[in-house]
Amino acid sequence: MYKCYNFKRFLVLLSCDIVAFFLIMLIIHSNFGGKNEGVAGIFNSQAEDSEKVFLPVIMYHSILPDTSQSTEFIVTPETIENDLKYLKENGYETVLPVDLVNFVDYNVPLPKKPVMITLDDGNYNNISYLFPILEKYDMCANINIVGEYSEFFSENGEEHIEKYSYLTWEDITALSKTGRIEIGNHTYNLHSNNERRGCSKFSYETESEYRKLLFSDIGKLQNVLYEKCSLKPTTFAYPFGYISDESIPVLKEMGFRVTLTCYEKPNYITRDSDCLYGINRYNRPNNLSTEKFMSKILA
């Protein structure tokens, strides 16, 4: 009887232990989710849920003082200075694409009111007009280079003409050394609004043919920027904003961490690295006042 009671008690205790064991396993499994994230992973995913950083991004191209030349893609130095002054006075701080990567990868905080300034094509006048303004307001910007334009002006050896010239490899090296400019890739020779539409994929092209094209063209600029300027850009700007979904895995494979589009929408940056592929940007035409343009992008 005693033995039997003890045996029953043993069975009861054993079943309690089994239930407790399974409960503990259940809790562990639900927290770690089988993702091998560890304790840090739990805290990170909580941060992912709660933290979304509003990021307006502006896209400029050429900067020329003669207003008769102002267009949708050419602004005056006065326009860009008014924009940056407005942003500064309203508490915005410029960030570079690398800051977004550091936010995602290493939890490096972004400023309270971040804004990103980008300039496509690598016009030489970015040095003469943009750079002094960046210094004046202690700001930074991303410039996206077209390989064949920079190659041509690097090799012809002629003096720069503000209206037509593009940054040479020497200019690019000097700009990136200042720490105010992050250089991005804007294709070597796919900057044409032709049948292909920038670097987008033809419907009849196979994925492997398309991958080959991107590696040979975008990869060529990566190689030249490394050889001539010791740079390994991790930002890619789609020419004319034409995007192919098939480009994303290829660009990731090439080491790009941020891609820039021309969709005029705000961005909300999270801890998910995928949110950096397809950053939206507002083109800045010269025919809007700073107040009007900013009310559109900062809303």
Residues at the interface with Zn ion (CB under 5 A): 120-121
Residue among 211 and 281 whose Cβ is closer to Zn ion:
281
The CB-of-197 to Zn ion minimum distance in angstroms stands at 12
Question: Is residue 293 classed as helix, strand or coil in its secondary structure?
Answer: helix
Cβ neighbors of 203 (< 8 A, separation 6 or more) are none
- The angle subtended at Cα 277 by Cα 274 and Cα 278, nearest 5°, is 135
The CB-of-239 to Zn ion minimum distance in angstroms stands at 5
Residue among 114 and 122 whose Cβ is closer to Zn ion:
122
The CB-of-149 to Zn ion minimum distance in angstroms stands at 10
Residue among 116 and 269 whose Cβ is closer to Zn ion:
116
User: Within 13 A of 131's CA, how many CA atoms are on the CB side?
Assistant: 20
Provide the b/e sequence for 123-159 (b: ≥16 CB within 10 Å). bbbbbbbbbebbeeeebbbbbbbbbbbbbebbeeeee
Dihedral pair phi/psi, residue 58, rounded to 5°: -105, 140
CB-nearest residue to Zn ion: 120
User: Within 13 A of 108's CA, how many CA atoms are on the CB side?
Assistant: 11
User: Within 13 A of 75's CA, how many CA atoms are on the CB side?
Assistant: 25
Of the candidates 181, 173, 189, 166, the residue with the CA atom closest to the CA atom of residue 229: 173
Residue among 167 and 294 whose Cβ is closer to Zn ion:
167
Strands 53-55 and 267-269, bridge-based pairing: antiparallel
| Tokens standing for residue 74 | 């050419």
Residue among 81 and 121 whose Cβ is closer to Zn ion:
121
Residue among 114 and 147 whose Cβ is closer to Zn ion:
147
Q: How far apart are CA 288 and CA 265, in angstroms?
A: 18
Alpha helices (H) in the chain, listed in sequence order: 2-32, 38-50, 77-89, 97-106, 125, 131-137, 147-155, 169-177, 207-229, 247-253, 290-297
The CB-of-136 to Zn ion minimum distance in angstroms stands at 26
The CB-of-42 to Zn ion minimum distance in angstroms stands at 43
User: Within 13 A of 101's CA, how many CA atoms are on the CB side?
Assistant: 13
Residue among 149 and 210 whose Cβ is closer to Zn ion:
149
Of the candidates 215, 217, 221, 223, the residue with the CA atom closest to the CA atom of residue 251: 215
The CB-of-158 to Zn ion minimum distance in angstroms stands at 23
The CB-of-226 to Zn ion minimum distance in angstroms stands at 21
The CB-of-187 to Zn ion minimum distance in angstroms stands at 9
Residue among 168 and 270 whose Cβ is closer to Zn ion:
168
